[in-house]
Structure 1
Amino acid sequence: MSVQPTAPPEHPTSLAEQKEALITASFDSGALKFGSFVLKSGRVSPYFFNAGLLSSGAALHPLALAYAHTIRHDLPAFDILFGPAYKGIPFAALACHALYTEYGVSVDYAYNRKEAKDHGEGGSTVGAPLKGKRVVVLDDVMTSGKAVREALGIIAAEGGVVVGVVQLLDREEVGGREGKKSTVMELEEEAGVKVRAVLLMRDLVGWLEGKGMTTEVGEMREYRDKYGVKD
């Protein structure tokens, strides 16, 4: 079976263009859905995001560009991108590649194993050594923050220093451990690191407005009024 080549899409340059391309690709691929979804928290959300469905070249291209732009322009200097297993692994590899091709910035990447390997080279991480390095952790959608907190522990045990966290989507809603602050706010206070996001919930609302999807816009605003972090 042969794969027929297609013309590459226009190359988005600004962060706004990259966000637009990423949201569109997420919607087209089914990674971003609007409707009624019961979350683990029990809340009924008007949207759901499953980064695992960003599985084509057309979807991964804007993902890589948007991650690289956010990392490049909104974080302190670092040496290694760390992707928590499993979803964070392709994020780290894609962002590492895009940073080099788009900005000429060469950094390393690493990720953890779900179970430490006791043969061969052994260890609980794969990729660049973390000892003595400045590390940025990549995540998809931070709910309880469990995956990122585990990553912070792994990196510390390996002798690395986390200088930032970048999540793919910030739902911008209260939750966290006490139900008063967002998980992002709690993590920033606990770890003392900057947490940034490629996309915010408000970006999704803006995209819906641009598409004239007024019903979805109303549902998103109602949800944000009820559960959103107050600016």
Structure 2
Amino acid sequence: MQKYKQEFIEFMVKSNVLRFGEFVTKSGRQTPFFINTGNYTTGEQLEKLGEFYAQTIKERIGTEVDVLFGPAYKGIPLTVTTAIAMNKLYGTNVEYCSNRKEVKDHGDKGILLGSKINDGDKVLIVEDVTTAGTSIYETMPILKSQGDVDVKGLIISVDRMERGQGEQSALVEIREKFGFKTCAIVTMAEVIEYLYNKEVNGKIIINDEIKARIDDYYSQYGAKYYNI
């Protein structure tokens, strides 16, 4: 496993973003683990987070991108910090854009916040986590309504490696349906491999009990066809 992946996993733990317990995902699944990027709250954390995203974008998708699009609401700070990091690390001056939950009918009218999206723009979707892919199916009509845009891909922080609408993983389904690249900074398989019976800040993060609950969860929701 690359060093930056190990650093990112520990970064999530220390930032209280990666948590284990009893949670419910947006898709309604009862899950023993949860990734809450809303817990990145400090300037230092957000700066580091953007750099992890930027590094993965460069390695997996490339920096030939015009606009970073972040689905509201968590996607908004993700696109901003990633845009800053891409400029800082690679000299790539990309714009950021997000959707509003409600269309604004005064002042800066419309559904978009930040940059406008024009015909021919190369757009990269920046998300926190994708479980069943629900938010991407909501996002694509918004992007396509803006014009003839070229969606280059989707990047997320953690691939939960779960079934999407069918038996394949959500990222595979999205890639095959829309025809663009999908990638994550880390996968849950990498998270489990790295943290199982390992101490971080003097505490075992994934012990035998938690590992067994994760295994049970994947026996029910794990993707049968996984190939990213």
What's the counterpart of residue 222 of structure 2? 228
Q: Distance in 2 between matches of 1:145 and 1:226?
A: 17
Distance 1:120 1:84, change over 3 A: same
2:44 aligned with 1:19, yes or no?
Answer: no
What's the counterpart of residue 112 of structure 1? 99
2:46 aligned with 1:52, yes or no?
Answer: no
Q: Distance in 1 between matches of 2:216 and 2:2?
A: 24
CA deviations on 1:76-114 (whole Å, 9 max, x unpaired) are: 532111111110000000100001111122111111111
User: 1:149 Cα deviation (Å)?
Assistant: 2.1
Contact in 1 for aligned 2:71/2:99 (Cα 8 Å) = yes
Q: Which runs of 5+ in 1 are unaligned?
A: 1-14
User: 1:125 Cα deviation (Å)?
Assistant: 1.0
User: 1:45 Cα deviation (Å)?
Assistant: 2.8
Residues 215-224 or 80-89, more deviating: 215-224
**1:162 is matched by which residue type in structure 2?**
V
User: 1:166 Cα deviation (Å)?
Assistant: 0.6
Q: Distance in 2 between matches of 1:141 and 1:41?
A: 12
2:77 aligned with 1:93, yes or no?
Answer: no
Q: Which runs of 5+ in 2 are unaligned?
A: none
Residues 59-68 or 20-29, more deviating: 20-29
Q: Distance in 2 between matches of 1:39 and 1:104?
A: 36
User: 1:219 Cα deviation (Å)?
Assistant: 4.1
2:70 aligned with 1:68, yes or no?
Answer: no
2:165 aligned with 1:171, yes or no?
Answer: no
What's the counterpart of residue 127 of structure 1? 114
User: 1:134 Cα deviation (Å)?
Assistant: 0.7
Q: Distance in 1 between matches of 2:105 and 2:72?
A: 18
Contact in 2 for aligned 1:18/1:65 (Cα 8 Å) = no
Q: Secondary structure at the match of 2:128?
A: strand
User: 1:205 Cα deviation (Å)?
Assistant: 1.0
**1:139 is matched by which residue type in structure 2?**
E
Contact in 2 for aligned 1:155/1:161 (Cα 8 Å) = no
Per the normalisation by structure 1, the TM-score is 0.82
RMSD: 2.3
**1:229 is matched by which residue type in structure 2?**
A
Q: Distance in 2 between matches of 1:144 and 1:74?
A: 22
Residues 208-217 or 90-99, more deviating: 208-217
What's the counterpart of residue 191 of structure 2? 204
Q: Distance in 2 between matches of 1:39 and 1:91?
A: 20
**1:165 is matched by which residue type in structure 2?**
L
Identity between Structure 1 and Structure 2 (%):
35
Q: Distance in 2 between matches of 1:172 and 1:88?
A: 20
Q: Secondary structure at the match of 2:131?
A: coil
**1:33 is matched by which residue type in structure 2?**
R
Contact in 2 for aligned 1:22/1:62 (Cα 8 Å) = no
Q: Secondary structure at the match of 1:110?
A: strand
1:185-204 pair list within 5 angstroms: 185-204=172-191
Per the normalisation by structure 2, the TM-score is 0.83
**2:53 is matched by which residue type in structure 1?**
Y
CA deviations on 1:3-23 (whole Å, 9 max, x unpaired) are: xxxxxxxxxxxx933333332
Large movers: runs of 4+ above 4 Å? 38-44
**2:140 is matched by which residue type in structure 1?**
L
**2:49 is matched by which residue type in structure 1?**
L
Aligned residues: 215
